[in-house]
Structure 1
Amino acid sequence: MGFLFRAVLVFYNLVLTGALLFSGVRSVGTSANRVLLLFLLPVAVYFAAAGIRRILALPGLSAIKGLAFSLSLATTSLLFVFNLLGAANSSEYLFALLVAPLPLYFWGVAGGCLIKGLRKPQAKEEPAVAEEPAPAAPLTRKDQVDEPQRRDFLKRIGSVGLGLLAYSILNPKQVGAAFFGSVPGPGTVAIKDTTDTKIDPAIKSPIDAFGISAIDDGATSYYGFIDKNGAWYILKEAPDTGYDSYLYVKGDTGFSDNWGTRKTRTDYAYFNQTF
């Protein structure tokens, strides 16, 4: 669903749910209104949990939101089907049409999550190290996503690649003489790239010391990372460009305040521009 369409749909469903709940509470004595309240209760809990989750990171809130979403998907579908099949006049058909956006929203969210999950590449097994390794292929931007505690479909970042792997496993002298076309000194290895420029295999990635601290897995996903000194960076996964785009913003202090403004920031940039 497009952003504008989804925003309008959410606003309509909030107004509709509020109006139906208000009407049901006022006439709670009738069995029909009690059933209506029972059907709409998971919807109210879902929207309330979604709103609170944008402000506060309360423990267990994600589980409550997930359970409320599943119940809302079922109850709104039943509410629409029962009213449509049981309609006997134009006003009852009109009511069924008015509640149709409720199941439409939840089925749309479920379908979007399913499509997004299918688009994620599966993690591939790393090939065994050969005696004479071939030159490593250049890393793509998607290969630079670092999230060791997230799901399997996010890959571990590697900025050094095959040179670091060979340096860690093979004999440094044999590597320097046989594979890299240089004559290293005792206990050293001289690695060169295709332009004959020396590469230091001990260089670490600038985000190795960071750990995952916060996750927002909405339509646009955000991942917050922080290190032991309080420095932080936020990874934004934006699928609206026709392909998954990973953007970054970083800072030295104040992770909590900056996490709260993650969706309104305009200073996201690519990995090489941020670090």
Structure 2
Amino acid sequence: MKQLFLVVIVLSVLLITGCMNLSSSKGMLTVYLTDAVLPISDVQRIDVTINKILLMSDAASVVVTDEATTVNLLDLVGSEISFPTLQTSGTYTQLRLEIGQATITVNNSEYELKVSSNSLKYPFTESLEINQDTILVLDFDLSRPIKVTGSWGQGQGTQQSNNTQFHMTPVIHLRHGQLYDITGKVVDNNSGVAHALVALTKDSTVVAATFSHEDSNKWQKGEFKLSKIEPGEYEIKVFLKETYECWEDEDIDQYILQHTPDATKTVNLEYENLDVGDISISNRV
């Protein structure tokens, strides 16, 4: 069995309220989906249809949206989409996304992507009370949960056997509070470097990760964006494609924390978006 490495899908939940009495105030709920990245060149698409988004409580549930939305996760690298905004109040214990269908396109062939329980669930560590301005970011870490079983061949034109199956069981992390974006560019002798893994770490923890972009009408080659990060001091670790392509079933977080990156940069994120400029890998050992 070979694991396909997805690194970061971020689901951002923005909860905003006006100035009201806390006992009766309501909040505006906006759900964003952002930043799906994948260092497997043979994969062209990962399409997921979200049928419904629910906020769950002990007593009842609130429908955030029941309008089916199909998203190609690979279109979300460094960007985001929003779902309908909902005004609500109350105390909630879980956010749930009900999945209708998911497919993965590999070597120009489309396969079913099986989602555990046909849903993505995030149980809040502490109950979420919506009655004032709050930002809650759910970070779907798919570095481990996308797996392939059966006979798996890579490369253009490779034929997969009938027993090839793809599975997804997301791991979810939480960020909250006042959140800002970190942008920058990975360069080698002043030229942009695409497909570099850019990991944000703090206190022996991987906070977020993404990949640097190819040249396009939206991005310059080598540019990256780490979305919705809490203020603080961090270290950015950059791994080149030839470095991370050797990964097999090793835990990605542990790999990032224990292996020597091709470049590093310490940054201090204050209460505004931060552009860290160029991160050069020209002088790496």
Greater C-alpha radius of gyration: 1
Q: Which has the higher strand share?
A: 2
TM over 0.5: no
TM-score grouping bracket, smaller chain normalisation:
under 0.3
Structure with bigger helix share is 1
TM-score by length of structure 2 reads 0.23
Q: TM-score, normalised by structure 1?
A: 0.24
